[in-house]
């Protein structure tokens, strides 16, 4: 016998991505409550971080959540370190510095501060 049953997937209300596991397989879950539990658990559905529920937005993926937190509170920078851009690889060291946000992984370099694009 073949029968169609309904299952639940979690979709980010911000970017529209569908929750997937570590191997990028879309997670199809038993029901909405099960899907909710899976994406909001510690580590999230794919080990990269939990999804969150935001008022006025809905259910958002880890990426969108961290970007929104950073947009509101500012980035949470790791200490500056030497820039690892292509310049450095070509000339054996770039004199500029770079900073990575520990939350959303945005990278800022002093190239940008000086008007550059890297």
Site string for Zn ion, 5-44 (x = CB under 5 A): -------x-xx-----------------------------
Q: Which of 14, 4, 60, 66 is nearest to 36 (CA)?
A: 60
- Applying CB under 5 A, which part among 3-11, 18-26, 45-53, 55-63 lies near Zn ion? 55-63
Nearest to 23 by CA among 47, 41, 43, 54: 47
CB within 8 Å of 57: residues ≥ 6 apart: 13, 14, 68
CA distances from residue 26 to 4, 6, 62 in whole angstroms, order as listed: 18, 15, 15
Which residue number, 4 or 20, has a Cβ lying nearer to Zn ion? 20
**CB 47 → Zn ion: shortest distance, Å?**
16
* 71 part of the interface to Zn ion, by CB under 5 A: no
Q: Which residues form the interface with Zn ion (CB under 5 A)? A: 12, 14-15, 61, 64, 70, 75, 83, 85, 87, 94, 96, 101, 103-104, 106
């Amino acid at each position: 016998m073949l029968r169609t049953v309904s299952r639940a997937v979690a979709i980010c209300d911000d970017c529209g991505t569908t929750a997937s596991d570590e191997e990028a397989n879309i997670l199809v879950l038993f029901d909405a409550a099960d899907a909710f539990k899976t994406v909001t658990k510690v580590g999230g559905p794919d080990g990269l971080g939990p999804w969150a529920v935001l008022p006025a937005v809905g259910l958002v993926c880890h990426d969108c959540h961290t970007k929104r937190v950073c947009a509101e509170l500012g980035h949470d920078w790791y200490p500056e370190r030497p820039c690892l851009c292509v310049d450095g690889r070509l000339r054996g060291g770039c004199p500029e510095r770079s900073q990575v946000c520990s939350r959303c992984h945005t990278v800022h370099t002093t190239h940008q501060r000086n008007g550059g694009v890297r």
